[in-house]
Structure 1
Amino acid sequence: MTRRTGLLLFAVLVALLAGAFAWRQVPSRRAATVAASAPAASAGSAAAVLELAPGDLVEVRGRPLTRAVTFTGSLKPVQSAVLKAKVAGELLALTPREGDSVRAGELVGRIDPTEFDWRLKQAEQQVAAARAQRDITLRQLQNNRALVEQGFISPTALDTALANDNAAQANLAAVQAAVELARKAQADALLRAPISGQVAQRLAQPGERVAVDARLLEIVDLSRLELEAALPPDEAAVLAPGASARLWVEGRAEPVAATVVRINPSAQAGTRAVLAYLGLRGAPGLRAGLFARGEIALARAAAASVPSVPVSAVRVDASRPYVIAFENGRVQHRRVLLGARGTADEPGATEPYVELREGIAAGTPVLRGSLGLVADGAAARLAAMAVPRALAASAASR
């Protein structure tokens, strides 16, 4: 063995020893990496805590509820009318526009009356001719009567004269009726508002040629409005005309009082819903077509110890309804059994409440619906601010 070969073998041996030492150090490095990352992960999870404001929670507690029937619908005027053309012709004028007020019988437009004027003159001339013909037949009848009495002509000639006079009399009556029809057509060329109210739609423009029964104006009377509510049969069965209701209309913060004026005696085919009609007086901001949700008070709940929460706090995105309770620094999904709905007789209660018959105890704070979906078991805490005593005590005791 030469010296060069010995040096080469020594280098290979040193490389093998260094590789074995590095391989033995890999598990210890992995353990050190995991140990270093564990505190960081725990610190991150500790930081992901849901901050709850007092307004995000509502307490489950017994409230006196007034049972109510909720519904939705659109407002429509009790009285509305569409002005239509009674005669065909060119529309010369149509004064009102959308939003203008009109009175019943007010002149609002005009159709070209030239044709109807000439027809009236023609009919009047026909009346004059028929009247002159009647005068001739009447004089002839009178002469024939005198001649028959003197024996100069036979009674048959008298009968002929009498028939001619009757025909002339009938012809005169017919052309007189034609005159009245021509006068009516002439008057129909003047467009008058059928009811008092406001113009909702203007459906024609001056210069157009309109046909008979063409729609020109839609007029609505907003002094009295009506809402058509489709109710389930069990709820409609306990209703009666005269029941009071409250409506929340788009664009108005305050509810509007309404009354059940009538109930349809037949159910709708397919849905089996019963239509109830609610009447209300017109007020500023109330317009035809606005969407409204309403509530009809039926009866007050006898037991005030039944736990209840706002309807918006009940989640329905799962197979069964549930609420999100705040207990022991975490939020928990609790399935609940719902009862009757109604309004809470307490200050500031503007939305409907629902009874919670099972699944959660009274005094438990739950998340309002405005907070959105929250994972079950997520950590949570009350924000460091002025926390209501009731909620703070409830959270501290759990």
Structure 2
Amino acid sequence: MKNKTRWLIIAVIVLALIAGIWRALASKRAQKEAAAAPAVVQTHIELANSDVLTASVRDITQGLAISGTVKALNYAVIKARVAGEIKDITVREGDAVTAGQVLARIDPTEYQRRWQQAQEQALAAKAQMEIAQRQWDINKALVAQGFISKIASDNSLASYQGALASHKAAIAGADVARKSLDDATLVAPFSGVIALRAAQLGERVSIDAKILELVDLRQLEVEAPLSPSDSIDVRVGQVATLQLEDRPTYVKAKVQRISPSAQAGSRSVMVYLRLDQPQGLRHGLFAKGTLGLGKSQVMAVPLSAVRSDRAQPYVQVVEKVGDTFQVAHKTVVVGVTGTDLAQPESEPWVGVTGLDAGRTVIKGQVGALRQGLAVTYTSPKTN
């Protein structure tokens, strides 16, 4: 019984080995047959009009990518110059104000009393000065007549000079007190719009506490940090094309100022660009774009259309052969790379030589195509 079981197990193992060998041989035979089958060769491709463009001469601007923050040329943080309770605050965020307009008042009671005290002290000092002056005038006459000594006259002169100095000091103290009283009233230093209200009515504030922020949106500029190496080629007057907060429209800006030194921490050099049309823009927006460093008029194609999977760069074009259109490869020499400011939202362009104007160039998004491949269009081709 044991021998019969043993032979049964051996038979099962042998059958399993035979089945595995058979499956391996069948798989290998299928692979050979697939490899021997003729490969399917693509002979035709259909392109949309958006997949091609017409090569032409363009003004290419060699640019420097920049980004920065929009800031108002006139921006002020209005702080409390004296301590006290806010008795009146007349504006809120978004309110337009004019230069000299009263924005807030701090309780002036204490400062009024100090000014009155200083005025009274100045009057008392003036009275003492006048008494000392009359005494000196009398003593001058008595010395001339020989009734008193020169020493007594000199003493009266010293008393007058001391009283005069005390009067001047009292007047200065009154001026300081008056300034503190004036500082209790906060006025707009220029015309603009309230950007922030940081204090409320009845709040007690200390000296230098922030009360309001004021911006003038009529003049805006972009503050852009550049690396020291990039800043060397930047000049005042160069024009940039900027996109604000990913909006579809672009605005022009011109370099107005360049910082003469790099910042200590980041080693960045700050460049300031004045916006040509600040209408509708806001302080604090993020801006990015290209700063034009030079311009060249060249035969240009999109940078992605130039392929580099061969020994020499080339572009794929569509040319007419008989009654059909076919893909052809044109070897080119690559030149300057930059931006077409007429289409700032497009990808970078590159100047090429070896390509005639008017040729239909296949864009890079299509990918690599075999030379001689037949081409048809999803709609009639228009240049």
Q: Deviation per CA, 1:54-101, whole angstroms, max 9, x where unpaired?
A: 377355956524123132222111121111211122222222222211
Q: Which amino acid aligns with 1:259?
A: K
> Does residue 80 of structure 1 match 2:99?
no
Q: Deviation per CA, 1:109-130, whole angstroms, max 9, x where unpaired?
A: 0111111111111112212322
Partner in structure 2 of residue 365 of structure 1: 362
Question: 1:232 offset after TM fit, Å?
Answer: 5.9
Partner in structure 2 of residue 351 of structure 1: 346
Partner in structure 1 of residue 221 of structure 2: 226
Secondary structure at the counterpart of residue 165 of structure 2: helix
Task: Return the match for 1:108 from 103, 106, 109.
Answer: 103
Task: Return the match for 1:309 from 295, 302, 311.
Answer: 302
Question: 1:233 offset after TM fit, Å?
Answer: 6.2
Q: Deviation per CA, 1:169-190, whole angstroms, max 9, x where unpaired?
A: 2212211221111111111111
In 1, the alpha carbon distance for the partners of 2:195 and 2:164 equals 50
In 2, the alpha carbon distance for the partners of 1:128 and 1:298 equals 68
RMSD: 5.0
TM-score (norm: length of structure 1): 0.67
In 2, the alpha carbon distance for the partners of 1:191 and 1:212 equals 13
Gaps of 5+ in 2: 1-9, 34-39, 308-312, 319-331
Question: 1:341 offset after TM fit, Å?
Answer: 2.5
Q: Which amino acid aligns with 1:54?
A: A
Q: Deviation per CA, 1:294-348, whole angstroms, max 9, x where unpaired?
A: 33334443441x5x3156x799xxxxxx999899xxxxxxxx99753323487x6
Partner in structure 2 of residue 7 of structure 1: none
Secondary structure at the counterpart of residue 259 of structure 2: strand
Q: Which amino acid aligns with 2:381?
A: R
Secondary structure at the counterpart of residue 389 of structure 1: coil
Partner in structure 2 of residue 67 of structure 1: 61
Gaps of 5+ in 1: 1-15, 40-45, 316-321, 328-335, 392-398
Partner in structure 2 of residue 389 of structure 1: 381
Question: 1:107 offset after TM fit, Å?
Answer: 0.3
Secondary structure at the counterpart of residue 243 of structure 2: strand
1:128/1:277 CA distance change after superposition, 3 Å: closer
Partner in structure 2 of residue 183 of structure 1: 178
Aligned length: 348
1:268/1:103 CA distance change after superposition, 3 Å: same
Task: Return the match for 1:340 from 336, 346, 367.
Answer: 336
- Please give the residue correspondences for 1:1-398 in structure 2 after superposition, counting only pairs within 5 Å: 54=48, 57-58=51-52, 61=55, 63-70=57-64, 71-231=66-226, 236-250=231-245, 252-266=247-261, 274-304=269-299, 308-309=301-302, 340-344=336-340, 350-355=345-350, 365-368=362-365, 386-387=378-379, 389=381
Q: Deviation per CA, 1:156-214, whole angstroms, max 9, x where unpaired?
A: 22222222222222212211221111111111111111121111222222223222222
Question: 1:251 offset after TM fit, Å?
Answer: 5.8
In 1, the alpha carbon distance for the partners of 2:114 and 2:251 equals 55
Secondary structure at the counterpart of residue 301 of structure 1: strand
Partner in structure 2 of residue 318 of structure 1: none
In 2, the alpha carbon distance for the partners of 1:151 and 1:202 equals 74
Contact 2:83–2:205 (Cα < 8 Å) also in 1: yes
1:125/1:270 CA distance change after superposition, 3 Å: closer
